Homo-oligomer: A and B are copies of this chain.
C-alpha cells in the first residue's frame, strides 16, 4: 500500500537533528518566545524575501492576527475564494467581518481575478488569496485591483511555502501572508505552528503584541490580544527543516512533472503545466467526473488518495447562513477533485506505479 502521506518517512532524514534540537530546548529552561523563535523568524522572513516574520500557534491564528491588526470596522466585507479550506474563512467570522465568496478560475481552481471587481462595494476592505495546492494566485492583477480600490491583500499561504510568482516569493507580495506549519505541510512542524510574514514594520510590531495578550512590555497590555505563540521547541524543529525546503520542493516539482507528462486518462483533468517551477506542489489535485470510482480503483490497487476538499465552505453546517448561495464552479470542483500522493519521500518506483495504475483506469 502506498500511503497518501507517511509523516514518519517524511521526517526521518531530519529525525536525529530534530531530537537533538528537542533536547537542547528542553534543557535550556526557556520555552516561550526565546532565541529559537527569534532565529527561526529571522530565517523564515529572509527565506520569504520579506521584512518580518512573527511566529504564531498555527495558520488559522496567523490569519486571525493579521485581520485583528488591520482592525477593519465590523461588518466590513472581505473577498475570499469560495474554493478553499474552511480556515481561510473562519477568522473573518470571529471578527464580525463578512466573507464575500468569489468563484475560482476553472483551470487553476484558484480565486478568479476577473470576478473580483464586481464584488467590490464601499464596505470592502481586503482580498484574501489562498494559494491552494501550492500555487500562487494571480498576484499582478489582484494587487492592481487592491491598489485601485485601496484594499489590503492578505495571502493564506498555508499550502505554499517556497512558491513564487514570476520570480517573487510567496510572502513578499501581499500586505501580509499567513503560513501554517501543520505537520503535513511542505514545511511542517511536529505539532501545531504558524507564522505571519510581512514587510510592513508597524503591522509586524502590532502583530507581535497581539500574539502575546496584546502586550508590549511584561504586564502592560496595549491591545486586546490573543495568546498565539510559536513554541520554542517547534521553532527549533522548523529551523532544522527550513534549509531543506527548497530541495524538497524541487523534488515535488520533478514528481509533478512526471505526473503531468505521463498521466493520460480520458476525462481526467490534470493541473495546469504553465508554472511547474514556481508551484510548491503541496498537493497534486486532479479532477474526474467519477471520482468515487477512481478512488476505489486506486485503493484496490494499493494507492491511497485524499480529497481536498469534499465539501465547500458555504455548504458546511457551520456556514448554514450561506446554504442557498449558488457557486456552481466551486461546487462542481468539490465533487471532482482528488489528490494523488505527492511528497518528497515517494520513490521513482512508487511514482511509476501510481502513474501506470492511474493510466489503467477506464471509466
Give the interface of A toward B (CB within 8 A): 6-8, 11, 15, 18-19, 22-23, 25-32, 57-61, 86-87, 90, 93-94, 96, 182-183, 189-192, 213-214, 219-229, 231-234, 307, 309-311, 316-319
Which residues in B have their C-beta under 8 angstroms from that of A59? 227
Q: Identify 16 new A-B residue pairs, CB closer than 8 A, beyond the known A19-B22, A225-B318.
A: A7-B29, A19-B26, A31-B189, A32-B192, A57-B58, A57-B192, A57-B227, A90-B213, A90-B225, A191-B233, A219-B310, A221-B317, A222-B318, A224-B318, A224-B319, A233-B233
The docked-state distance in angstroms from the alpha carbon of A25 to that of B86 is: 28
Contacts of A29 in B (CB 8 A): 6-8, 11
Can you list 8 A-B pairs with a CB-CB distance of less than 8 A? A11-B29, A57-B57, A86-B213, A86-B221, A90-B226, A192-B229, A220-B317, A224-B319
Give chain B nearest CB distance to A291 CB in angstroms. Answer: 14
A223: chain B residues at CB < 8 Å are 317-318
The residues of B that contact A32 with a CB separation of less than 8 Å are: 182-183, 191-192
Point out the residue from B22, B28, B228, B231 that lies within 8 Å of A231, measured CB to CB.
Answer: B231
Q: How far does the alpha carbon of A8 sit from the alpha carbon of B319 in the complex, in Å?
A: 47
Taken together as a complex, chains A and B put the C-alpha atoms of A32 and B228 apart, in Å, by 17
Complex: how many Å from CA A61 to CA B214? 14
In the A-B complex, list the 10 residue pairs whose CB atoms are closest, starting with the nearest.
A8-B29, A191-B231, A60-B227, A221-B318, A221-B316, A7-B29, A22-B22, A58-B227, A31-B183, A93-B224
Instruction: Please tell me how many copies of the chain the complex holds.
Output: 2
Q: Which residues of B contact A317 (CB under 8 A)?
A: 220-223
A112 to B223, alpha carbons, bound, how many Å? 28
Chain B nearest CB, measured from A146 CB (Å): 26
Residues of chain B with a CB closer than 8 A to A309's CB: 219
B23 x A19 contact (CB < 8 A): yes
Q: Which residues of B contact A192 (CB under 8 A)?
A: 32, 57, 227, 229, 231
- Complex formed: what's the CA distance from A29 to B182 in Å? 13
Which residues of B sit under 8 angstroms from A311, Cβ to Cβ?
219-220
A74's nearest neighbour on chain B, judged by CB, is B96
Chain B contacts for A86, CB-based, 8 A: 213-214, 221
When distances are taken between beta carbons in the complex, the residues of chain B under 8 Å from A234 are 191, 231
CA of A189 to CA of B31, assembled, Å:
9
Contact B213 A87 (CB under 8 A): yes
A221 cross-chain contacts in B, Cβ below 8 A: 86, 316-319
By a CB distance below 8 angstroms, the chain B residues around A190 are 25-26, 31, 233
CB contacts (< 8 Å) of A220 on chain B: these are: 311, 316-317
Contacts of A214 in B (CB 8 A): 86, 90, 318
- Which residue in B11, B25, B60, B191 is a CB contact (below 8 Å) of A213? B60
Provide the residues of chain B in CB contact with A6, threshold 8 Å: 29
For A7, the chain B residues whose CB sits under 8 A away are 29-31
Q: Complex: how many Å from CA A23 to CA B87?
A: 30
Q: How far is the CB of A1 from chain B (nearest CB, A)?
A: 15
Residue of B nearest to A25 (CB): B190
